[in-house]
Structure 1
Amino acid sequence: MAVESAPREGVPEGAAPPRAGTAEQDRSSGLRRASLGVADIAFFVVSAAAPLTVMAGVAPLAIGVGGIGAPIGYLLAGAALALFAVGFTAMTRHVRSGGGFYAFITRGLGRPAGFGAATVALLAYNGMQIGVYGLLATGTQSALEALWGVHVPWPAIAFAGVLVIWFLGYRSIEFGAKVLGVLLLAETGMLVLLAGGVLLDGGAEGLALDSFTPDNVLVPGTGAVLAFAFAAFTGFESTAIYRSEARDPARTIPRATYIAVGFLGLFYAFSVWIVIQAFGSAHIMKAVATDPMGLFFTATTRYVGGWAADLMHVFIVTSIIASQLAFHNAINRYGLALAQEGVLPEALGKVHPTHRSPYVAGIAQSVLALLVVAGFALAGADPYRQLLLWVNTPGALGLLGLQAVTAVAVLRYFRRIRHEEGRWRSLIAPVAAAVLMAGAMWLVISKIGLMTGAPFATNVVLVLLVPASFVLGVLLSLRVRRSRPDVYAHFAQDPGEAGEAAR
C-alpha cells in the first residue's frame, strides 16, 4: 500500500550499506550516457519485432488458423502487453540497474530468482537473435533468386549476416539507432504503400469490418492466432536495457515502451486486415492455402505493382537485419551488465574507448552465433524449419516466461517498499498482467507443434530448455553465494546505491 513519504524511493528499508571501493564502478556502466531519446529506443524495440517480416512471413499462418478474425488477435495481444507495461514502466522509475528483467526479478523475488532470470534472458535473447539467421538466409536467397536468378548457399549468407551485425553493433549506439531508423521506415513504408493501394481500390469485394464481428472472432482458431500474435511482440521490453544510455530515462523508457506496444498492436492488426481486404473475406482462406508465403507479395503486385513486390523482397531482408541488430545490442548490454556484476567473465564488461559500445560482449555473441549456424549447416539442417523455428522457440517462450515472472516481481516489490505509486500501477495491473502473461505462455506451449512443425520429442526439449536454464541460474546463485559472497550480496544493485540485504 502506498504511503506519503519514504527515506529513499525504491530502496527497501534495512538496505545494506554499499561496498567499500565500488561506488565509482557502480556509478556508470561506461556506455555513452544520455544519448538516446524516445524515438531512438522505440526504433530499437519496433525493429526487433521486424514488422514487415512478421506480416509477410507469419501473418498468413495466423490467418490460416484463425480465419478472417485474425486481426483481433494482434489487438488483444497488444492490449495485454500494454497492461504488463503499466507495472513494468512503474518499476523502471525505481530500479536503475541496466539488467532489465533480471534486475526487476531480483528486487521483487530475491537473488536466486534473479540469477535464474538472467540465464533465461541470455538463452531467450540469443535464441531469438541467432535463430533468425536462418530467416535472413532464406529471405536473402528468395530475394536474389526473384530479382536476379542467383542462388547462394544459405550458410554463406548467414555467416555474412553475422559479420554485418557484429560491425553495426561494434559502432556507437547512435549509429545503430540511425541505421534502424532508416530500415524501419523502409519496411513500414512498404506496408503503408500496400495499404494505400488496397484502400484506394476498395479491396477485392469492397472494404468490410467483418474481421471484428463476434462470429469471426470467437472461433476455435483464435487461441492459435494469439500464440502467433504474442510472439510477434517479442523484444518490446528491451527498453529498460538502454536505461543508462537514455536521456531522462524516467520519462524516456515508459514513453518508448508504450509507443512501441501501441504502434505494433495497431499496425499489425491494420496490416492483417488490409491483406484480407486485398483478397476479400470470401477468398482469403483459399489464397492462404494456395500460397501463404506469397500472400503479401501477390497483394502488393496486384494493388501497387511488380516493382513494389521486388522492393518488398529487399525490404524483408533489411527488416531481418534490423531485427538482428536490435537483439544483438540487447544481448550485448545484458552481457555487459552481468560482467560488471561479476557474474560473467570480466572481459565481457569492457566498453570500446571510442564508440562506447560493449564490443567484447559483441564479439562473444557473434562467435556464439557463428558456432550455432555452423553446427546447423554441418548437420544439413533446413535454415527455416530448423535453425529459425527450433532456435527461436525457446527464445520466445523464455521472454514470455520472464514477462510473467516480472509481473509477479513488480507486485511483490511494491508490497515490500514504501512508494507513491497508485494501486493501479502497483497492484491491479501487475496482477492482471501476471495472469495474462501466464495464459499467453500456456497458449504458445499448447500450440507449439503448429509453430515449430517439429516432432513431439523435439518440442518437449525446446520447451524444457527454459525451466532448465532457470534452474541452472538458481544453482549458479548458490555457488556464487558460497564462493563470492561479495558479488552475490550486490547482485542487481543500482549504480551508486546500496542493494538489498543478501538473502
Structure 2
Amino acid sequence: MSVQEPAALAPGLAQRQLGTLKLTFYTVSASAPLTVLGGGVVATLAVTGNVGTPLSFLILGLALALWAVGYTAMSRYLVHGGAFYTYLARGLGGVWGVAGAAVALVAYNGIQIGLYGLFGVVTSALAQAEFSLDLRWYVWAVIAWLVVGVLGLFKVDLSAKVLGVLLVLEILAVSFFDAGAFGHPAVGHISWEGLSFGQLLLTGGAIGVVLAFGTAAFVGFESGPVYSAEARDPRRTVARATYIAVGFTSIFYCLSALALIIAAGPDKVADMARDPNAGMPFNFIEQYYNHTVATIANCLLVTSVFAALLSFHNVVSRYFWAAGHEGVLPRFTESTSTRTGAPIAGSLLQSLLAAIVVAIFVFTDADPMTQLFTWLSYIAAVGILLLMVGTSIAVIGFFRRQPDLSEGVWHRVIAPALSAVVLAIILVITVLKADAMLSADKGSVLTYVMPGIIGITTVVGIIWGLILRSIDPRLYDGIGTGGTRTAPDDGLGSLLNARDNAATGDLQRF
C-alpha cells in the first residue's frame, strides 16, 4: 500500500476548513475542562481519597504525549476521517481496522450518549435552583439533542466557532476558581501535597483507580485525526492540535485539581468530595466572589457538557462516513451534504442512536448519572484505551511496511512500544477496578458486562472483517486507503448497494 495523498481522500467532506486553533477547539472541548474539574476530579477524590491526584495528570500527560509521538507521525502520511480505524487497518491489516471501527463507534457513541444524562442533571439542577423551573432531566437532554443534531448538519467550521467560544468561557471560569483557591488556601498557606509522589503512592492500590479516572478525563484529545481530511494542512495541523491538547489539558487539569485540594484542605477534601451537598467547586467560587459569579460558573458547566456533546457527535458522524465510504458499513452512511460538506448520514444516524438509548434509560427509570452517564462513560474509556494500545502497535507495523519514510527509530518503534506497554497496564487496571469506577459491588455482574461490551464488539468487528475478506477481497483491500468504494461482487454486497443507493442520493442532495 502506498502512502495516501491528501487531495484524494475525502470526496464530499468540506475541504481545508480547520486550522490548528479550530482543530484544538474540537479536541480540548471534547475533554471538557470544567466538567472534568466539577465531575471527574471530584469523583476521583471521592472514590480514592488520593490527595496526589493532581500529580497523576502530569504523569498521564507524559504517557499520552509518548503515545502521540507515533500517532501523529502516522497522521502525517494518512489523511482520512477514520483515524483509529484507518491506522489499525494500515498498520495491522483490514480485519483489525474493521474491529477498530466497531470499537470506535461503540466507544464514542457511548461517551456522547452518556453525556446527555450528565447534561440533563446539571441543567435541571441549575434551572430549579436559579429560576424555579422544575423540568425532568430528559427534557433538557432532548433540547440539547435537537441543537446538537442541527449543528451536526452544518459546516464543520460553524461547530468549531461555537466550541471555541464555549471553551474560552469555561477556561475562564476554571481560572477564576484556581485564582480564588490559591488566594484563599484552607489551611492558611498553599499546600503542595497534591504534587507529592508520596501522596500519590500513599493509598496503595488506589493509584490504579486514580490513573483510570484520569485517563477517562483526557478522552477526546486524540480525536484530531478524525478531521484530517477537513484540515487546512493535515500533515502539520493534526500533530500540532494533538500536542497542544494533551499539553494544555494535563497542565490545566493538574493546576485545577491542586486548586481544589488547596481550597478544601488536604485533610478534608476527600470527605467534602463525598458529600453530594458540598457543591464542589461552585461553593468555593461563591465563597471567593459572589452568588452571581457562581451561577455563571454553573451555567458554563452546562455549556461545557454541551460542547463535549457536540464535539463527540462530530467524531461519531465522521467514523460512520469513513466506514461507509469504504464499504465496511452500508453505502448510505458515507453521504455528505452538497451544501455544507457535513457527513449528514452519520450525523443523523448518531442522533437516532442517541434518541433510542436515552429513551430506553428514561422508560426503565434508570438514573441519568449513576447509570446512563457512568456506565456509558466507562464503556467509552475501556474502548478508547484498547484503541490506543492497538494503534501504538499499528504504528510499528505501518512504518515497518514503509521503510523509506523519513521517520526516526524513536517515532517508528521506541515511543509506540513504550506507550503500548504503559497504556496496556492502565487498560488492565481500568478493567480490574471496574467496581470502583462503576460504584458497584466487587464481582457484581456489572463489572463483567460493562468491559465485556467492548470485548464482544471487538470480536464482532473481527468476524465482520473476516467475512469481508472472504466475500469481497477487492473491497477488503481498500479498507483504510480512503479510496473510492469498489462494487462488491457477491450477493450480500450487491444487496447492500441496491438497498442503499436511493437513500444515498436523497441525502447527498440535502
TM-score after normalising by structure 2 = 0.90
* Residues 469-496 of structure 1: per-residue CA shift (max 9 Å, x gap): 1111111112222333221121111458
Q: Which runs of 5+ in 2 are unaligned?
A: 487-510
User: Deviation digits for residues 204-256 of structure 1, max 9, x if unmatched?
Assistant: 42112122223212222222111110000012111001011001111100000
Match of 2:356 in 1: 371
- The structural deviation recorded for 1:53 is 0.8
Residues of 2 paired with 1:337 and 1:139: CA distance?
34
Per-residue deviation, residues 443-481 of structure 1 (Å, max 9, x unmatched): 211221111124510221111111211111111112222
**CA distance 1:423–1:25, change in 2 (3 Å):** closer
Letter aligned with residue 370 of structure 1: A
Match of 2:472 among 463, 468, 484: 484
CA distance in 2, matches of 1:229, 1:237: 15
Q: Which runs of 5+ in 1 are unaligned?
A: 1-7, 12-22, 499-503
The yes-or-no answer on 1:257 pairing with 2:233 is no
Q: Do residues 427 (structure 1) and 409 (structure 2) align? A: no
Paired position in structure 2 for 1:14: none
Name the amino acid aligned to 2:23.
I
Quick check: 2:9–2:229 contact (8 Å CA) kept in 1? Answer: no
In the alignment, which of 23, 30, 43 is matched to residue 48 of structure 1? 30
CA contact (8 A) 1:63 1:288 kept: yes
Output the amino acid matched with 2:100.
A
What CA RMSD, in Å, does the superposition of the two structures yield over aligned residues?
2.1
Distance 1:380 1:273, change over 3 A: same
Paired AA for residue 15 in structure 2? R
1:58 is aligned to: 40
Does the CA-based 8 Å contact 1:97-1:495 persist in structure 2? no
User: Alignment partner of 1:218: what SS?
Assistant: helix
Q: Identify which of 300, 306, 309 aligns with 2:291.
A: 306
Change in Cα spacing, 1:263 to 1:319, as seen in structure 2 (3 Å) is same
C-alpha contact (below 8 Å) 2:10/2:80 kept by paired residues: no
Counterpart of 1:485, as a letter, is: P
**TM-score under structure 1 normalisation?**
0.92
How far is 1:276 from its partner? Answer: 1.0
CA deviation after TM superposition for structure 1 residue 183, in Å? 0.6
Distance 2:481 2:244 in 1: 28
Return the match for 2:183 from 195, 200, 207: 200
Whether 1:109 and 2:92 are equivalent positions in the alignment is: yes
Question: Equivalent residues in 2 for 1:337-376 (5 A)?
Answer: 337-376=322-361
Aligned to 1:15: none
> Partner of 1:94: helix, strand, or coil?
coil
* Separation in structure 2 between the aligned mates of residue 327 and residue 293 of structure 1, nearest angstrom: 30
The alignment status of 1:29 with 2:14, answered yes or no, reads no
CA contact (8 A) 1:159 1:373 kept: no
Cα distance between partner residues in 1 of 2:185 and 2:360: 49
Amino acid in structure 1 at the alignment position of 2:63 = A
Q: Is the 8 A contact 1:205 1:280 kept in 2?
A: no
Q: Indicate conservation of the 8 Å contact 1:80/1:436, yes or no.
A: yes
| Structure 1 residues 424 and 298: alpha-carbon distance in aligned structure 2, compared to 1, 3 A threshold | same
Contact 2:98 2:328 in 1 (8 A): no
Cα 1:478/1:496, change in 2 over 3 Å:
closer
8 Å Cα contact 2:50/2:210 also seen in 1: no
Aligned to 1:321, which of 306, 312, 323?
306
The aligned amino acid for 1:122 is L
State the 1:26 CA deviation.
5.4
- Deviation, 1:148, is 1.4
Deviation at 1:271, TM superposition (A): 0.2
Conserved in 2, the CA contact under 8 Å of 1:66 and 1:222?
no
Inter-partner Cα distance in structure 1 for 2:379 and 2:88: 20
8 A Cα contact 2:121 2:137, kept in partner: yes
Higher relative contact order, structure no. (Cα contacts within 8 Å, ≥ 6 residues apart): 1
What is the SS of the residue equivalent to 1:77? Answer: helix
SS in 1 for 2:152: helix
Amino acid of the structure 2 residue aligned with 1:125 = Y
Equivalent residue number for residue 164 of structure 1: 147
Match of 1:501 in 2: none
Q: Which amino acid aligns with 1:450?
A: A
Q: CA deviation at 1:293?
A: 6.0
Residue 450 of structure 1 aligns with which residue? 436
Q: State the distance in 2 between where 1:24 and 1:437 align.
A: 30
Report how many aligned residue pairs link the two structures.
480
